Structure 1
Amino acid sequence: MENNTIKERLILKPVGLEYLDQFNQLLRYVFQVTNNDLLESGYEDGEITKAKRPILKNANVIGWFNHDQLVSQLCIYPCEVNVHGKIFSMGGLTGVGTYPEYSNLGLMNDLIKKGLEMMRDNGQCISYLYPYSIPYYRKKGWEIISDHLTFELKDNQIPKSRTVSGYVERLAVTDKDVISVYDKFARSTHGALIRHKLEWEEYWRWENEEERIAVIYYDQNDQPRGYILYWISDDIFHIKDIIYLDQEARKGLWNFVYAHYSMVDKVEGNLYNNEPIHFLLEDGQISETLEPYYMARIVDVASFLNNYPFKSAEIFTPFHFQVSDPLAKWNEGIFSIIRNAQGEFIVTREKTGQEVSLDIQTLTTMLMSYRTPTYLHKIERLRTDDTTLRILEQIIPREQPYFSDYF
């Protein structure tokens, strides 16, 4: 049967709670999640379906149906992220999958287009996703914006104890001080996800948090200032994540790791802030592996630019972005950046000043500060004159994104 004939039989519509079992069956098939995987993550039989119920209830889920059978789906979480100190509504794209017998029909392309329209209507002017294929999502307008660094230290490379004024306590990973520290961290860290109840549940979705421990650093005023989420197995100190609000907390947390010197052979850990750990160590000759992690996409260029926290610049000349977008046609064309008498940046659709020509992927990774305008110009992802390039370097904040979640 011809592909067009098959597609004519299908209907695109919302996926409600009545399709919860089909939603999970498709997820498990596409991502090859076995019963053993679920048990290792701490789920009993049937619990994963119950755990996904709030997601289906609170998220926007759309799918293609053959009669009453779900054959292709896409899920959009309603999230918030910190973009250079400003909180933006974000659409977290996940649960993307199609049964193989329905591939090559353009079903996912249609779902993504519809999803972008829904995100735009909901005021989610940026979207994040974890890519199963970077080339595929680049074609759809997403681009890399964060990295995941894994590291390995031998026991004799663990930083020696340093004097600090505070102390540490071991607590449950669900402790209120863990939640509090992360919230302060996320609200002061570019790129980070603001975690509410649903986001914390997703953070632990495929791990057994009952086997993880939190150690929290408290300053001399008994205020929590950082934490490590960890576990120990096979003589290895495993760090799931480490965050801190100041350098004293960093030192205090590493003092705790060093206290395990006689108990472990090495430390294996994760970092998500694009700050290689070797420079902070006395013996920096360690093993580190860097790989791309999350991708992002500006959903609504006009809204994103109007809310973007550009930095002030002493010398500023108006210019315009000439944007191309493969799927969201409302992002195509001219977006001029001008500055009023009060020094505020304003976005218009009228052509003004020199042109900055780029696609939606490049605009996203540049404004998220994963790559600088100069670098993107050098590799021919961005075209403009030298003067405008210098202006871009001045008005775009430099802090690179942090993102440690997974959905």
Structure 2
Amino acid sequence: MTLAQSQTSGTAELVARLEPQFPAAGVWADLLPRRPGATVFAGPLVQAAHVKAFAPSTPVRSLVLRQGGALASIWPLWQRRLAIGGLTVRELGFARDAHSLRNNLLLPGDAAGQSLACLLRACRDLRGWDTLAFDNLPEMAVPLLPEAAAACGIPCDPPRPGRLLLWADMTDGQEAYLASRSGQFRRQLRKRQREFALLGRSAIRVLHGDEITAALPEWKALAARSWQGENPEAAGLTALDWAFHQALVQNGRLWLLELDARPVACLRMLEDHDTAYVHTMHFDPALADHAPGVVLFAAMMEDAAQRGLRRVDFNGNTPFFARWATGATAHQNWRLYRPGLAGQAIRLARAGVARLRQGAAGKAE
């Protein structure tokens, strides 16, 4: 039986319910520019790639909100079993793997409160879960979550800090962006570019679609040589991760920097309507002193500005990215619990585990 929750927003009825399949990709993708803080990672291509690569036989619950019959939001909810404080916990949440760095509730700005309440009531009525895990939601997009959860009778923990992801504003073009950097940054960049050009015959290849598929062996070989290749599982370089990359070849670009016809740096970028996102970066450690990654990154940034993209999102927070960044997006992790004694017990167990970890960390210091 499919459970549904409905209410009226303005003149259009909101209906939230499970649907057997993801909505049509084009309709889903059209939502993203109209949802605060939404990125390509909340869209159909990336979400389908998570399923195809990491859980082809695992059911993912597609909780869909429709307003007047039109798609208004979608939450692809994965089912997981966790052990917390000696309890087995059934968790519903967004995809969780090396590539699930950010999420979004995709709430319509003109009916965010009503939409969130409708979706949470639908979650409350679903069977088979003890906790709802909403990880790495942008802070600006979820101020209504505690109030909406309370109105639905769903206990909710205060949010915990999630990822801080850096980005660069390219709205005013390359010259304006470079002018926002320090003089030392600009001098060092020009120096790196000149020095690399003296090493030999260099070229940059920018690949799309099936060209990315054809270049996968080169990309894999360079990734294996890079420092990330020392720990493929932690760095997202397993066979499943490469299946994920393969599923995304129709989006964005693969940048390859070659020296004497040999790839020495690569940069995989995903894109939506106005932003390019860093997905992976690798360089040959044998050339680390010559900064091939810096040379390639600078070329990508200039190209983004020339194509009129509003932002380059670095999708991470490292000293390297900090030197290029003009801003950051903070995220939060949220946990909600099924109403009743079982949910209360899990909430207490989770709080106890957190206190033990804090105590252990304090002793270690």
TM-score tier after normalising by the smaller chain length? 0.3 to 0.5
| TM-score computed with the length of structure 1 as normaliser | 0.44
TM-score by length of 2: 0.47
Greater relative contact order (Cα < 8 A, sep 6+): 2
Higher helix proportion: 2
